Chain A
Amino acid sequence: MAKIKVLVTAALSTYMNGDREIMLEAQSVKDLIEKLVARYGKNLASRLLDENGRLRRFINIYVNDRNIRVDETDVELKDGDQVLILPAVSGGIIAHPFLLE
């Protein structure tokens, strides 16, 4: 299985015991999300996924600088790939999942 470096920002690291850079083994983006959720629990899950288990609209995932869309999460990961997870901060109209608490 591919060894992947995962980078996140402060908004997510709050739900990852403060971790901002971790190494994980994963086959695909989908697999990587599942492993992150398994490691850090349901608080992180609710930030990343909606009630139907789909990636939230505000979550941007980049594999080696390429933005991966919701329908591309099966893309295979390779050894040494770097995955960046960025929750977008948007305007003030719709309640943002990070401001719901």
Chain B
Amino acid sequence: MWRYRELLPITDDNCVVNLGAGFTPLIRSDKLARRIGVRRLYIKNDTLNPTYSFKDRPASIAVSKAREFRLRIVGCASTGNLASATAAHAAAAGLRCVVFMPVSVEEEKIKQASIYGAEILLLKGTYDDVNRVAALAADRYGLGVVNVNLRPYYVEGSKTMGLEIIEQLGWRLPDRIIVPTASGALLSAIYKGIEEAEKIGLIKESTVAMTCAQPSGCSPIVEAFKKNLDEVPPVRSPSTIVQSLAIGDPGDGYQVLRVVRKTGGACEAATDEETLEAMKMLASDAGIFAEPGGAISIAVLKRLVDQGVVDRDEEVVCCVTGSGLKTIDVTPITQNIHRAEAKFDSVSAVLSYVAAAS
């Protein structure tokens, strides 16, 4: 992402903390496009980041900025992925790190964040409770909390995903970009990147239908969109396996509504079952293993195509934001695991079935 250095708000290059976040592959999947029923489908594969989620983008810039501000301790309020991204960048920068997470976060994400040496605070409450505590802690202890008091810099990291999509498509936009949405920062930041690309002449116009994907067990922005509200009433008790998108009171929800309406996009929710099905499709059709919070963009695309909201002639980019290795426990069990004796006869049954089907 640091290839866009000139568009990022850092003044001292010596403070940049670069673990190689961003410039992830944009993969065209004709097989998945055919299955879902759109003309062309690209996956922006952000599972391939230093800590395996798109959160390395905002963490890279926010921790760099913290260095510039001479802060000694950074931190974050996290639904799981930001924890590791912040902890890893803090470790590389030589800063102390304090991570605030709900106790319900997946074990994989807790272990991953802890290995980088951060202090991990698991709080009994929702993400919104965690965010409130982190905001007060930032104030009272002078912490640089990347998504609270460093947030204006943090979102600048996420805009690089929009710039990359444009560059990787050959300096143009697709018809639609579908973005997994929790706080709403990523969707609004991607669009900010697109608007900036237009402003400096990298593209002629910023025409793209920005589309928000949320889990039905926590979809405050989708509800507000469908009820034609300007504000986003919070969901007090999120209930979904898509932990990384379980933010009931989205800080940038208002901006998402504004961007989606301005660009003629859509907001839609997918059930947990649809999201798990999308995880399977993404892996078995495109070779990409995503966590539910990443695969939900595919689930929502399928829904919107089935509803006729997305035209079958569209070219769509689905952002896939985090790796499936982070949520092994919820990975759907498939029927293709066979345990056998280490003898040829024991494997023949399976092999003849595979040979016959090919």
Contacts and interface: CB of A to CB of B under 8 A. Distances in A.
Interface of A: 7, 9-10, 20, 57, 60, 62, 65, 67, 69-70, 84, 86, 88-94
Nearest to B188: A91
22 contacts: A7-B136, A9-B136, A9-B138, A10-B139, A57-B254, A62-B132, A65-B129, A65-B132, A67-B249, A69-B234, A70-B231, A86-B135, A86-B136, A89-B151, A91-B151, A91-B188, A91-B252, A92-B156, A93-B188, A93-B255, A93-B259, A94-B255
A60 B134 CA distance: 14
A67 B151 contact: no
Interface string B150-171: 0110011000000000000000
B192 A92 contact: yes
Given A9-B138, A88-B251, 5 more contacts: A60-B132, A90-B152, A91-B252, A92-B156, A93-B188
B185 interface: yes
B151 A84 contact: no
A37 to B, nearest CB: 21
Contact of A84 (B132, B189, B258): B132
B192 A90 contact: no
The prevalent SS among residues of A at the interface is loop
B245 interface: no
Contacts of B136: 7, 9, 84, 86
Given A9-B135, A65-B132, A91 B185 contact: yes
Interface in B181-210: 185, 188-189, 192
Contact of A91 (B148, B189, B233): B189
B233 A69 contact: yes
Contacts of B185: 91
A66 B149 CA distance: 21
B328 to A, nearest CB: 32
A91 B234 contact: no
Best-buried of A60, A70, A89 by chain B (most CB within 10 Å): A89
Interface of B: 128-129, 132, 135-136, 138-139, 148-149, 151-152, 155-156, 185, 188-189, 192, 231, 233-234, 249, 251-252, 254-255, 258-259
A89 B132 contact: no
B254 to A, nearest CB: 6
A4 to B, nearest CB: 17
Given A7-B136, A93-B255, A67 B192 contact: no
Contacts of A65: 129, 132
Contacts of A94: 255, 258
Contacts of B234: 67, 69
A10 B255 CA distance: 25
Contacts of A69: 233-234
Contact of B148 (A7, A57, A84, A89): A89
A69 B232 CA distance: 10
A44 B249 CA distance: 25
A14 B169 CA distance: 47
A57 B233 CA distance: 12
A91 B255 contact: yes
Contact of A89 (B149, B156, B189, B233): B149
Contacts of B251: 88, 90
A90 B233 contact: no
A90 B149 CA distance: 9
Contacts of B152: 89-92
Contacts of B149: 89
A67 B132 CA distance: 9
A17 B189 CA distance: 35
Nearest to A62: B132
B137 to A, nearest CB: 10
Nearest to A12: B139
A23 to B, nearest CB: 18
Contacts of A70: 231
Nearest to B149: A89
A84 to B, nearest CB: 7
Best-buried of A57, A60, A91 by chain B (most CB within 10 Å): A91
Contacts of B259: 93
A67 B239 CA distance: 18
